[in-house]
Amino acid sequence: MTPSKIWRVLDVNQIKSIHFGCVAIISSTRLPISLVEWRPFTTMSEVEVNQQDELSQFLFCEKRFTDPIATNGALLEGFMFAIRWRKCSMKNEQFGLYGSVGKIENAKDEWWNQGANLISVGCILGQSLQYVGDHLFERIQNCYNSLGVPSFYQVNYEGNIPANQGACGFASALTFTMNGFKN
């Protein structure tokens, strides 16, 4: 999609002109929140299908190490999980990747194996966002870079990030839903 097509799609008055498989999500104040495009697996290359399979397996395994988000007041059904950096509430304000200590303690080897896959997952997601639109990708990446926010895949983050992280470094957090999630 081109930037002009994205902005045309995001015009709420033209929402009916969106092609099949493309959805614009807006806030109550009619500001764009998200643009989602579904692509049938039959239209994807073998590499893309394998990447989607890798991403699905990663997310399915990741839920073993995090608790569902409990602060989503509008939750009707199912679960929402998150992979993100989180600031600790300790005085020195350290932060790290969020996870359930008890769940990680019970499966340390699997946790480290899962962490090794973060870079690949970050790249898959970054490439997907670039597919939707380079302009949007660039705006998000510039925002995160200006704030010094790490991508969720940067497990060795030490307070600074590269000026340009490429396709792999766009997302500071990833939320995903399971079990018939309804909001």
Q: Which residues of the chain have pLDDT under 50?
A: 12-18, 92-95, 163
Give the number of domains in the chain: 2
**82 and 14, same domain (yes or no):** no
What is residue 46's three-state secondary structure? Answer: helix
**Domain extent at residue 95:** 42-182
Q: What is the pLDDT of residue 46?
A: 95
Q: Which of 135, 165, 139, 169 is nearest to 153 (CA)?
A: 169
Q: What is the pLDDT of residue 17?
A: 39
Element (H, E) at 173: strand 173-182
**94 and 57, same domain (yes or no):** yes
**20 and 56, same domain (yes or no):** no
**140 and 164, same domain (yes or no):** yes
**30 and 116, same domain (yes or no):** no
Q: Over the stretch 98-150, which tens digit does the pLDDT of each residue have?
A: 778 888 888 888 888 887 888 888 888 877 777 766 777 777 777 777 777 77
**126 and 62, same domain (yes or no):** yes
**26 and 51, same domain (yes or no):** no
Helices (H), 65-163: 101-105, 108-116, 118-132, 134-147
**32 and 119, same domain (yes or no):** no
Q: How many residues does the chain have?
A: 183
| CA atoms of 144 and 163, how far apart (whole Å) | 10
